């Protein structure tokens, strides 16, 4: 008991702050709740950033894999296909990659297939 009182007196004389059991009874639960809250918020934000990192956010989400196949004869002279997965006309490009590139700093563009001039 004498050691704790001496410690209290030293704290009071050097900083003007006095640490008591009542302070600890309040401070420890607050610190535990703050630490748990910070942990949960960081997990939530981390999970959200992973969701935002998805490339395909809305196209054929019920399918295990999105695959498109085209015959060269059906293309005509030129076809422009989306590679950013943001096109509302997917699999065809509608220019959505420009907004995607501006927002993310990415440099994705379309896949252009055209017949060679003979």
Q: Which of 52, 61, 65, 78 is catalytic?
A: 65
The tens digit of pLDDT for each residue in 49-67 reads 555 567 888 888 899 999 9
What is the CATH superfamily name and number for domain 55-117? CDGSH iron-sulfur domain, mitoNEET-type (3.40.5.90)
At 21 the pLDDT is 84
The tens digit of pLDDT for each residue in 2-42 reads 455 555 554 555 566 777 888 888 889 899 999 999 999 88
At 69 the pLDDT is 87
pLDDT category of residue 73 using cuts at 50, 70 and 90: confident
Cβ atoms 114, 77 nearer than 8 A:
yes
The values of phi and psi at residue 92, to 5°, are -85, 145
Domain boundaries, the chain: 19-53, 55-117
CA dihedral sign, ordered 37, 43, 49, 55: negative
At 114 the pLDDT is 87
Catalytic residue list contains 89: no
At 33 the pLDDT is 93
DSSP per residue, 37-102? HHHHHHHHHHHHHHHHT-S-SSSSTTSSS------GGGTTTEEEE-SSS--TTTTB--SHHHHHHH
């Amino acid at each position: 008991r004498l050691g704790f009182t001496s410690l209290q007196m030293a704290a009071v004389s050097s900083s003007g702050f006095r640490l008591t059991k009542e302070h600890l009874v309040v401070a420890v639960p607050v610190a535990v709740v703050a630490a748990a809250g910070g942990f949960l918020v960081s997990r939530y934000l981390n999970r959200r950033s992973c969701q935002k990192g998805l490339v395909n956010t809305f196209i054929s989400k019920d399918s295990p894999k999105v695959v498109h196949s085209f015959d060269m004869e059906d293309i005509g002279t030129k076809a422009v296909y989306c590679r950013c997965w943001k096109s509302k006309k997917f699999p065809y490009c509608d220019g959505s990659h420009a907004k995607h590139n501006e927002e993310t700093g990415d440099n994705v563009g379309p896949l252009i297939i055209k017949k060679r001039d003979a």
